[in-house]
């Protein structure tokens, strides 16, 4: 299983068109934050924090995302493990960096004063 999971984590960043345009933070406790890192690893330097309820994070691409064909062939356990390895580059306000993809869900574009 480990070999299969590693195979789905190619060091390639997918373009924005390969996923949602925006994310919201999910699965982070109300008294915690989502760490923004300089690289796609929990060992990379922490460069910022995103609130537990952060919304409108611009998707700049993700790593360790299987293709749909690969995902279809995975067992439920492999899908869960694959999701734990995903890292996404995001922009939140003036901050830009990498976050663990398991803490992201699809979101809509942030509202601007002109769109209200």
Distance CA 21, CA 38 (A): 21
On the question of pLDDT at 81 being above 60, the answer is yes
pLDDT in tens, 15-54: 444 679 999 999 999 999 999 999 999 999 999 999 999 9
pLDDT in tens, 58-71: 999 999 888 889 98
Closest by alpha carbon to 63, among 34, 25, 37, 28? 37
pTM strictly above 0.85: no
Instruction: Count CA atoms within 13 Å of residue 76 on its CB side.
Output: 0
Distance CA 68, CA 107 (A): 21
Distance CA 103, CA 26 (A): 5
């Amino acid at each position: 299983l480990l070999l299969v999971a590693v195979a789905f984590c190619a060091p390639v960043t997918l373009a924005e068109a390969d996923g949602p345009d925006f994310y919201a933070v999910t699965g982070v406790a109300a008294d915690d934050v989502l760490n923004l890192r300089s690289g796609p690893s929990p060992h990379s330097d922490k460069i910022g924090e995103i609130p537990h309820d952060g919304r409108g994070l611009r998707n700049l691409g993700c790593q360790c995302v299987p293709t749909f064909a690969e995902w279809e062939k995975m067992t439920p356990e492999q899908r869960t493990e694959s999701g734990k390895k995903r890292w996404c580059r995001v922009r939140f306000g003036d901050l830009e960096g990498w976050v663990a993809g398991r803490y992201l869900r699809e979101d809509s574009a942030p509202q601007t004063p002109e769109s209200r």
